Structure 1
């Protein structure tokens, strides 16, 4: 069977120990997929794997709000990021929630018939664009904002990891294009998806994270976000100061658009680290074998590559998060 992995060879899940083994156990219990490749691909860097899982768990799975709405928000972000793997995954998870007609409407590219669903999907799509008008007002209760915001930020990160380091096919042979397969795959995890586990288990995997941003104050989403920020930004150490400045300055002015093919600001392969980080941030689907080979050195392991890609991916997440219009329950009371 062809490998779903690009550019890295993750450790076999059966050999996992410590925090990696604990992540797989939580994936099986709370996500319904013990060895989801979206997390296996991060297992060369367990600290990133654990934090990425914790943020997704505490927001999408255990956070406030209905699962269908959060799946639509994640689907919208995945569409905006041009991540077909994640688009297909969220379509199947909509089947798992029991919203079969909604899932198939998404496959056909239709607008959801339910106005609230349509607004949530549009909000998720708009989240890629800093300051987009569609981000206000919230299409969900203000009290659910930490979970919805955490969900879309989680998938802005995961979309970039997936597009950088996995193939586009969610299932072998791309068989998820058949409705019967989508429905069956959704039904196989329906029992897990339709229950809401207690919040907080993801934080057990983390090493004393901070409280996180104000929009997630008082929730388990905040520490999970803080842990992912800390783990991902550690990859900055793989770049020199000039390359870090280039990544930071490029992201400061990014407006959410996808870069053109003739992207003048993208350095050539004589600056391979900066090139990979910027591609991971803004156009991860354009990372090639040649880009990775130009950067690889004998001391650049898979652990290093995961860290560099995560650094670029989170640079985009940080730009998106910093521009989000945030409202709190206190402000509306």
Structure 2
């Protein structure tokens, strides 16, 4: 599988938390989890913990959480993630739901809610309070994953055109045993560094409440790689975002006018990751690398991760208060 701009740590060379995430995800997800994030091991492990404890473990039906993930991928325009979660839905036997979601439809209130999580006014929660950490965690984790995939691994997972729908079903058949696997909650938490801070109210008091603060700390750390004016510009732009896909002409340059020239390339990367990751270009990455001196894959992942999390945090502010 090819990636842009970064070289993932290969499975044979992985150690520490990267090796642990690869091993667990191959067993529980059916694929190596987010190799493109492996240059930043703390972010890689923390995101895996959030995804595992919200979407793979827990008591809410896996098929319903895959429906949430697929619907989020559709509204974020992440073709790779749409294919992956549609295949997982087929693996659970939810063929009609998978087909409806990939057509851009909302066949039930849960899918409608998932689609609305990118908007300025999300729908009320259509699930019981006991399942809030799982469904909200699944939606928010996938909003982040979609952005990082679109930035670093764009394009579809499966053949396009008329082959895509049958390919999704075929991939689902291969994963049917994986989605039926019993996942013991909390096993990913040993990968996390302690002392990450308090959990948001929506995360409850279970494993998601431990995983989310570690993820937030790791993702926000990338902001230190931006200059202060650049960081403030990213935060301000995302604060005013209402879920729309940015205009094609002039953006993000139109919101970077007050950012010093030497800080602008980093701000551009973070804003693209936040609001339009599918528009990240080789020239934008090259401009950032040349503007800040020698910086490797880990720093690039962290700058993009900061931008992606800034958008996810804005979505969380809206989603988490809708009860």
> TM-score scaled to structure 1, two decimals?
0.89
| Counterpart check, 1:288 vs 2:281 | yes
Could you report, residue by residue, the CA deviation over 1:186-229 in whole angstroms, capped at 9, with x for unpaired residues? 12121121233111011111011434111112111111111110
Separation in 2, partners of 1:185, 1:277 = 33
Separation in 2, partners of 1:90, 1:176 = 18
2:41 aligned residue: 46
Separation in 1, partners of 2:221, 2:288 = 18
Q: Matched residue of 1:281: which SS?
A: helix
Instruction: Label 1:327 to 1:125 Cα distance change in 2 as closer, same or farther (>3 A).
Output: closer
| Counterpart check, 1:188 vs 2:183 | no
Q: Return the match for 2:118 from 119, 125, 128.
A: 128
Contact 1:4–1:167 under 8 Å retained in 2:
no
Q: Return the match for 1:317 from 297, 312, 318.
A: 312
Separation in 1, partners of 2:304, 2:162 = 27
1:100 aligned residue: 95
Gaps in structure 2 of 5+ consecutive residues: none
1:275 aligned residue: 268
| Counterpart check, 1:142 vs 2:113 | no
Q: Return the match for 1:252 from 230, 239, 263.
A: 239
Separation in 1, partners of 2:305, 2:99 = 32
Q: Return the match for 1:14 from 12, 21, 26.
A: 12
| Counterpart check, 1:224 vs 2:211 | yes
Separation in 1, partners of 2:162, 2:52 = 24
In the TM superposition, residue 67 of structure 1 has moved relative to its aligned partner by 1.2
Contact 1:211–1:217 under 8 Å retained in 2:
no
Superposed structure 1 runs of 4+ greater than 6 Å apart: none
Count of aligned positions: 314
Contact 1:170–1:176 under 8 Å retained in 2:
no
Contact 2:140–2:316 under 8 Å retained in 1:
yes
Aligned ranges for residues 50-199 of structure 1 at < 5 Å? 50-112=45-107, 118-130=108-120, 132=121, 134-136=122-124, 138-171=125-158, 173-174=159-160, 177-199=163-185
Could you report, residue by residue, the CA deviation over 1:68-116 in whole angstroms, capped at 9, with x for unpaired residues? 211111122111111111111111010111112322333344442xxxx
Contact 1:51–1:228 under 8 Å retained in 2:
yes
Separation in 2, partners of 1:104, 1:18 = 39
Could you report, residue by residue, the CA deviation over 1:130-188 in whole angstroms, capped at 9, with x for unpaired residues? 3x1x421x2112210110000000001000000100021214x5589433322221121
Separation in 2, partners of 1:288, 1:80 = 21
Instruction: Label 1:305 to 1:325 Cα distance change in 2 as closer, same or farther (>3 A).
Output: closer
Q: Return the match for 1:306 from 288, 301, 305.
A: 301
Instruction: Label 1:177 to 1:110 Cα distance change in 2 as closer, same or farther (>3 A).
Output: farther
Could you report, residue by residue, the CA deviation over 1:236-270 in whole angstroms, capped at 9, with x for unpaired residues? 11111111110111111111111101222256986
In the TM superposition, residue 325 of structure 1 has moved relative to its aligned partner by 4.3
Q: Matched residue of 1:256: which SS?
A: coil
In the TM superposition, residue 43 of structure 1 has moved relative to its aligned partner by 0.6
Contact 1:76–1:124 under 8 Å retained in 2:
yes
> TM-score scaled to structure 2, two decimals?
0.91
Contact 1:123–1:139 under 8 Å retained in 2:
yes
Q: Which moved more, 1:12-21 or 1:61-70?
A: 61-70
Could you report, residue by residue, the CA deviation over 1:266-294 in whole angstroms, capped at 9, with x for unpaired residues? 56986100000001000111110000000
Q: Which moved more, 1:147-156 or 1:218-227?
A: 218-227
2:188 aligned residue: 202
1:115 aligned residue: none
2:22 aligned residue: 24
Separation in 2, partners of 1:234, 1:66 = 33
